[in-house]
């Protein structure tokens, strides 16, 4: 038998349901690996070993009963360990959002995505590291230390879901939940050699997500391959009356049975995503992957998304403005620690000044300025108008193509500290991922090669709203004829 942590999610499900391994044995194998690797990677903020083993025992009881009585198990995820990004609340586990201002907050309820996974019988291993309040592209902004990329510990794993990505890439968890506000699932997936899904905005409930940008935040999944990602997505998507932004679309069940081919699928290649600043090895790997899609029957069409150049400034007005409003609640009176001042104003100033990190304070100030009297129309209002133009770019493109293929990031994983002191350089890391969030369309990142340093290269496919099935079909076809997704770091 393979070592349990070598299993893909699909293989782990088969092993559990056949009785080849128990959920406790599988969970303990991941906990042992976390203990071995965690000091070097720092992928987790909070580990829930005792609770995880108790959940595993409960799952084993059900699995034994099902096998004994010949009952078909309707929940494929029963007994499967999973990691949760520490911006999604889990009842009884502290939720920090990577910030000191929430270091003692323990939520009394589960986020909807977490609750649905609990209903499916998963085992929660713990909460993964994140840039503070998901504000970052490298997981260097966490108050709980930097997460290291399993492929090269001197480099970042991407962000803000870097802890989730590092955990899955290092086989400390078979799958993990992340969030994608401006690329925070897709970019870490690219940097860590994983498959990462950003669903259509509103497809997965945001209830219980510690909000950054409310019109942009999306709960997503990171896994070793698209089949694994689809299994988790099937459990968490669907309407939620507790989330006003949740779509009314019925719950979607992705089926990757191989019947959907790439024959006559129109694949758009946006010229704006292949310009200055794109690492030559990244472009070469992405274009080779496009040739593979073409060899499988896809039709390749050059397209234009002319307002792409405005995505970075638009995002960095809208997202900080929403963050300014969302983070106003963290004042030391209701959540987390408090630094007492001489009066209420001084308490606010001391608590927020000392317990928010530099990047979070920078974005709060940017957002507050963009919303301030005399400037709101000039900045926030104009950004929303340009956002509408970016949305129309995608609507126009999808009149002539089915999917859009592009790089995920301009480069492979950069060195820790490379952009320290240069926030603009960090913001430009998101240039290819931000437009999908501004338009609300789904996207999926997946590995397509390695650079000369042995670092993973990812590409992304973007689709029309609610076309997750088509996106995952395309990646599934690609992963049946390539093996980039089965490569793993040598740890």
Out of 137, 138, 160, 235, which one is annotated catalytic? Answer: 160
- Mark whether 85 is an active-site residue: yes
Check: CB of residue 395 under 8 Å from CB of residue 307.
Answer: no
- Mark whether 184 is an active-site residue: yes
- Rounded-to-integer distance, Cα 258 and Cα 466, Å: 20
Pick from 13, 16, 55, 83: nearest CA to 231: 13
Burial of 421 (0-12, 13-18, 19+ CB in 10 A): exposed
* 410-420 exposure pattern, b = at least 16 Cβ within 10 A, e = fewer: bbbbbebebbe
Out of 142, 161, 164, 184, which one is annotated catalytic? Answer: 184
Out of 85, 99, 142, 161, which one is annotated catalytic? Answer: 85
* 203-235 exposure pattern, b = at least 16 Cβ within 10 A, e = fewer: bbbbbbbbbbbbbbbbbbbbbbbbbbbbbbbbb
Q: Which helix (H) or strand (E) is 195 found in, with range?
A: strand 195-198
- Rounded-to-integer distance, Cα 245 and Cα 41, Å: 35
Query: Secondary structure of the chain: what % helix, strand, coil (to 5)?
Result: 45, 15, 45
- Rounded-to-integer distance, Cα 193 and Cα 36, Å: 21
Q: What are the angstrom distances between the C-alpha of 453 and each of 102, 419, 456?
A: 38, 19, 9
- Rounded-to-integer distance, Cα 159 and Cα 364, Å: 19
* 21-40 exposure pattern, b = at least 16 Cβ within 10 A, e = fewer: bbbbebbbbbbebbeebbee
Label the pairing between strands 219-223 and 175-179: antiparallel
- Rounded-to-integer distance, Cα 215 and Cα 377, Å: 18
- Rounded-to-integer distance, Cα 178 and Cα 314, Å: 23
**Is the Cα torsion angle 122, 127, 132, 138 positive or negative in sign?**
negative
Q: Which residues are known to be catalytic? A: 85, 160, 184
């Amino acid at each position: 038998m393979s070592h349990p942590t070598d299993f893909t999610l699909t293989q782990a499900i088969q092993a559990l349901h056949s009785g080849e391994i128990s959920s406790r044995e599988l969970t303990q194998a991941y906990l042992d690996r976390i203990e071995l690797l965690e000091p070097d990677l720092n992928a987790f903020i909070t580990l829930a070993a005792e609770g995880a083993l108790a959940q595993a025992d409960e799952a084993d009881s059900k699995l034994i009963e099902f096998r004994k009585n010949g009952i078909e198990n309707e929940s494929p995820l029963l007994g499967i360990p999973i990691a949760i990004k520490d911006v999604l609340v889990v009842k009884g586990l502290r939720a920090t959002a990577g910030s000191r201002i929430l270091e003692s907050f323990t939520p009394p309820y589960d986020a909807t995505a977490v609750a649905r996974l609990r209903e499916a019988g998963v085992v929660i291993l713990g909460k993964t590291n994140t840039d503070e309040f998901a504000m970052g592209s490298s997981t260097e902004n966490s108050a709980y230390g930097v997460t290291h990329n399993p492929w090269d510990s001197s480099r970042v794993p991407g962000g803000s879901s870097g802890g989730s990505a590092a955990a899955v890439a290092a086989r400390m968890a078979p799958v993990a939940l992340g969030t994608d506000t401006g690329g925070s699932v897709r970019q870490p997936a690219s940097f860590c050699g994983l498959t990462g899904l950003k669903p259509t905005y509103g497809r997965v409930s945001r209830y219980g997500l510690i909000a950054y940008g409310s019109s942009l935040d999306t709960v997503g999944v990171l896994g070793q391959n698209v089949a694994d990602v689809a299994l988790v997505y099937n459990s968490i998507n669907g309407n939620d009356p507790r989330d006003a932004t949740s779509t009314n679309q019925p719950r979607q069940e992705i089926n990757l049975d191989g019947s959907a081919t790439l024959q006559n699928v129109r694949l758009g290649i946006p010229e704006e995503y292949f310009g200055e600043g794109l690492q030559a090895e990244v472009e070469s790997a992405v274009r080779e992957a496009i040739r593979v899609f073409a060899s499988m029957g896809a039709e390749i069409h050059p397209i234009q998304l002319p307002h792409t150049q405005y995505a970075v400034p638009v995002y960095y007005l809208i997202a900080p403005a929403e963050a300014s409003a969302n983070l106003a609640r963290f004042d030391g009176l209701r959540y987390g620690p408090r630094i007492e001042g001489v009066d209420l104003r001084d308490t606010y100033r001391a608590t927020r000044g000392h317990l928010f990190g530099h990047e979070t304070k920078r974005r709060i100030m940017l957002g507050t300025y963009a919303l301030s009297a005399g400037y709101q129309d000039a900045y926030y209002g104009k950004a929303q108008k340009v956002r509408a133009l970016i949305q129309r770019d995608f609507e126009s493109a999808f009149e002539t193509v089915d999917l859009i293929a592009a790089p995920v990031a301009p480069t492979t994983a950069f060195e820790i500290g490379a952009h320290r002191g240069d926030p603009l350089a960090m913001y430009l890391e998101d240039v290819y991922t931000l437009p999908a969030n501004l338009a609300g369309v789904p996207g999926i990142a997946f590995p397509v090669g390695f650079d000369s340093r042995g670092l993973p290269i990812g590409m992304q496919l973007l689709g029309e709203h609610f076309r997750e099935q088509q996106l995952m079909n395309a990646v599934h076809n690609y992963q049946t004829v390539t093996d980039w997704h089965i490569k793993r770091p040598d740890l």
